[in-house]
Amino acid sequence: MLHTQRHGPVTAFRLARTVLGRAVYHTAAYWVDGLLVDTGCAYSARDLLRETQALPLEQVVNTHSHEDHIGGNGLLQRERGVDIQAHSLALPILANPRLLKLQLYRRVFWGWPEPSRGSPMGEWLDTEHFHFRVIHTPGHSPDHICLLEPERGWLFSGDAFIGGRERAARPDYDMYEVIASLKNLAALPITQLFPGSGTVRNDPLKEIRQKIDALEELGSEVCRLSEMGLDVPAIQHRLLGKEPSITYLTHGHFRASHLIRAFLRQCPASTFSPQDR
């Protein structure tokens, strides 16, 4: 499934696999001035190829190497001959996506990407009419980058910013790097945010700052309760309640307890119990 929406010179593609005619989980790709930012998942690769067939396409940038952002790389590179760029840490996964070791739910939602050849990002990326600053934004993944067009105030943010309240996390998330990356973004002249979800936001800085405040408050409360002697289940119950539905959907890969532990890892060492390390 693919839906197209125009935002001035930027075309947003919302992509998803469909099951019984219903979208399973949306992700996004964005085209502007011959540049495609992210390529969705493997199941929507042919839809994206078809929709971009009439557009000039010189280069692809992946914000990070998760399967729902690199899934169209191989097909687009084979059919359109495009150059692909990403953070240097992402390149081994682009070349061999089996390094992702996808859990069952990820194979069902997004599928295995085809291999693709990539080259490392520089500090800036140019198209014919625009000049993008490349910003390293780790936390969601170590190889995550964002693209800022400072004259237009556009930020292509991948999954550096995810809307809503945090209720769960993967075990590999670094929440303090997430916060640090968000603080870096909050200091930029952003007027329009193009996130990995496809829900484009105008004047997004207030929402980014609210996200920072909420995460810092949650982290502070996790450390405070740990210092009082509460263990992970008790802290989770106090701050987050029971496990959300995504825990069961992902067979426990996303868990509220992973989110608590992500904050505990950087609380004072005296607050750790052996099982929390």
Looking at the domain assignment, is residue 58 inside a domain? yes
- Total of domains in the chain: 1
- Which residue bears the tokens 């210092």? 227
Find the domain containing 136 and state its range: 2-163+188-204
According to DSSP, residue 153 is labeled: T
Looking at the domain assignment, is residue 142 inside a domain? yes
Looking at the domain assignment, is residue 125 inside a domain? yes
Looking at residue 2, what is its pLDDT?
84
Looking at residue 274, what is its pLDDT?
42
Looking at the domain assignment, is residue 219 inside a domain? no
Looking at residue 89, what is its pLDDT?
98
Nearest in space to 64 (alpha carbons), one of 172, 148, 163, 136? 136
Which stretches in the chain have pLDDT values below 50?
A: 270-277
Looking at the domain assignment, is residue 232 inside a domain? no
pTM summary value: 0.93
Looking at the domain assignment, is residue 241 inside a domain? no
d(CA 76, CA 46): 9
pLDDT digits (tens, 9 = 90+) for 48-105: 999 999 999 999 999 999 999 999 999 999 999 999 999 999 999 999 999 999 999 9
Looking at the domain assignment, is residue 211 inside a domain? no
With residue 192 as reference, give the H or E element that holds it: strand 192-195
Looking at residue 20, what is its pLDDT?
63
Looking at residue 191, what is its pLDDT?
97
Tokens, residue 244: 């959300």
CATH number of the domain within which 43 lies:
3.60.15.10
Looking at the domain assignment, is residue 30 inside a domain? yes
121-135 burial by CB neighbour count: b if 16+ within 10 A, else e? beeebeeeebebebb
Q: What Cα–Cα distance (Å) separates residue 214 from each residue in 95, 222, 223?
A: 37, 12, 14
